[in-house]
């Protein structure tokens, strides 16, 4: 079958090409703030970088003391702030085609004039498409690091967090501990009550985990019934206390399954990060401690044995 192009093929038109080239050069060299802002924003899809650029361009036109942006990206609230606030503020909800992309708030000591408010709207209008793209990109990045069932970080997110913690430990001598949790005999729950109940158990376990740790700690699901908790600024003894709190919270769960309730327990392995070791070695030591907890009766916490 012969392919017919929907566009007629014509010879190049030198005049049109010259006009396009001139137009591009004028647009690229135009000193206007809106053109400059759009060009800067188009260079990145990182939301915090775009907001930094927007704040830099905006303050040249509308002086302010503080620039704040908030938006809910999936399960996480994203917040960007620069400067210190004043008693007067103006707030703008960013919307495009019926979709919300956060709230931008400016603070300063002096009241904003109507002309200044209109200028802010013009700058937001120039930036909104780029901000929308950055929000979508951030949401996709977050989705790739999130466990679909429980909504917490997945194995990839855990591995990235461990690598970051390893670098911080090396650079700033920060203390990190890792807890691995594995639900005991979880296969029996699926076999007896079905996967729907099994999924419900995993969700309830996640809730118990998150309620038993601090807001600064991070919880991950890195296997079927395997979870991890990363604890910054936490030594081995404190990590054991957290692991025991987690174990007790899970042991207290009761999930309805037709005529009876389901109870689960968990085994925990704890390992303190050692100076100079890689994240893989750290994870392997926590896994060894977890194996000993399983081997020594389950529903208990064990620490990786340190050879002195």
Cα–Cα distance for residue pair 138/127, rounded to 1 Å: 16
Phi, psi of 112, rounded to the nearest 5 degrees: -80, 140
The mean per-residue pLDDT over the stretch 169-184 comes to 89
Same domain, 160 and 291: yes
Report, as an integer, the average pLDDT of 56-84: 90
Residue 147 in tokens? 């466990």
Say yes or no: 298 and 159 in one domain. yes
308 inside domain: no
Which H or E run includes 220?
strand 218-221
pLDDT beyond 60 at 137:
yes
Spatial distance between the Cα atoms of 214 and 90, rounded to a whole number of angstroms: 34
pLDDT digits (tens, 9 = 90+) for 244-279: 999 999 999 998 877 778 999 999 999 999 988 999
Domain that holds residue 299: 155-303
Q: Which of 115, 144, 173 is the last residue of a domain?
A: 144
Percent of the chain predicted with pLDDT > 90: 71
Q: For 219, left (φ over 0), alpha (ψ -120 to 50), or beta?
A: beta
Q: What is the mean pLDDT of residues 187-195?
A: 90
Q: Which of 54-68, 122-136, 158-172 has the lowest mean pLDDT?
A: 158-172
- 4 within a domain of the structure (yes/no): no
Please identify which of the residues 225, 226, 244, 251 carries the catalytic annotation: 225
What are the φ and ψ backbone dihedral angles of 83, each rounded to 5 degrees? 90, 175
Q: Are residues 291 and 160 in the same domain?
A: yes
Could you give the maximum distance between any two Cα atoms of the chain, in Å?
A: 83
| Single pTM value for the model | 0.71
Task: Please report, for residues 176, 200, 230, 236, 248, the alpha-carbon distance to residue 243 in angstroms, rounded to integers and kept in the order given.
Answer: 14, 22, 11, 10, 9
Same domain, residue pair 135 and 179: no
- Averaged pLDDT for residues 38-45: 93
pLDDT tens for each residue of 93-127: 999 999 999 999 999 999 999 999 999 999 999 99
Total domains in the chain come to: 2
- Confidence band for 8, pLDDT divided at 50, 70 and 90: low
The verdict on 178 and 200 lying in the same domain is yes
Distance of CA 217 to the CA centre of its chain: 14
26-37 per-position pLDDT tens digit: 666 666 888 889
- Please give the Cα distance from 164 to 278 (Å, whole number): 11
Pairing relationship of beta strands 301-303 and 266-272 according to DSSP bridges: parallel
186 and 227 assigned to the same domain: yes
Q: Is 11 a member of any domain?
A: no
pLDDT for the residue numbered 100: 94
Check whether residue 97 and residue 204 sit in a common domain. no
Average pLDDT, the chain: 90
Q: Is residue 8 part of a domain?
A: no
Pair (32, 134) in one structural domain: yes
Integer Cα distance of 136 and 144 in angstroms: 12
Only one residue has tokens 């009766």, namely 297
Q: Answer yes or no: is pLDDT of 12 > 80.
A: no
Average pLDDT of span 176-186? 96
Domain end position, chosen among 144, 174, 202: 144
Question: Which domain CATH number covers 102?
Answer: 3.30.450.40
Determine whether 210 is an active site residue: no
Residue 150 falls within a domain, yes or no? no
**Residue that finishes a domain, picked among 112, 144, 176:** 144
Q: Give pLDDT, residue 2.
A: 59
- CATH number of the domain at 233, please: 3.30.70.270
């Amino acid at each position: 079958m012969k392919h017919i192009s929907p566009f007629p093929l014509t010879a190049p038109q030198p005049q049109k090409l010259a006009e396009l080239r001139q137009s591009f050069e004028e647009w690229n060299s135009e000193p206007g703030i809106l053109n400059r802002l759009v060009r800067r924003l188009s260079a990145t899809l990182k939301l915090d970088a775009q907001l930094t650029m927007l704040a830099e361009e905006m303050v040249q036109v509308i002086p302010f003391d503080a620039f704040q942006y908030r938006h809910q990206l999936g399960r996480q609230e994203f917040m960007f702030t620069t400067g210190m606030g004043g008693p007067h503020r103006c707030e703008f909800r960013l919307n495009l085609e019926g979709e919300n992309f956060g709230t931008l708030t400016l603070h300063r000591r002096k009241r904003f004039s109507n002309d200044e408010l209109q200028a802010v709207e013009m700058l937001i209008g120039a930036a909104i498409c780029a901000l929308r793209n950055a929000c979508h990109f951030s949401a996709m990045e977050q989705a790739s690091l999130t466990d679909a069932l429980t909504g917490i970080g997945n194995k990839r997110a855990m591995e990235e967090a461990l690598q970051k913690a390893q670098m911080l430990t090396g650079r700033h001598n920060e203390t990190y501990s890792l807890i691995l949790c594995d639900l005991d005999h979880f296969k029996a729950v699926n076999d007896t009550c079905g996967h729907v109940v099994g999924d419900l158990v995993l969700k309830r376990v996640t809730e118990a985990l998150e309620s038993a740790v601090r807001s600064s700690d991070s919880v991950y699901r890195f296997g079927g019934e395997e979870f991890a908790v990363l604890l910054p600024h936490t030594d081995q003894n404190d990590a054991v206390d957290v692991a025991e709190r987690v174990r007790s919270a899970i042991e207290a769960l009761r999930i309805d399954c037709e005529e009876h309730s389901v109870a689960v327990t968990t085994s925990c392995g704890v390992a303190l990060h050692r100076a100079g070791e890689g994240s893989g070695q750290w994870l392997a030591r926590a896994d060894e401690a977890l194996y000993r907890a399983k081997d020594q009766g389950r529903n208990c916490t064990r620490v990786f044995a340190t050879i002195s």
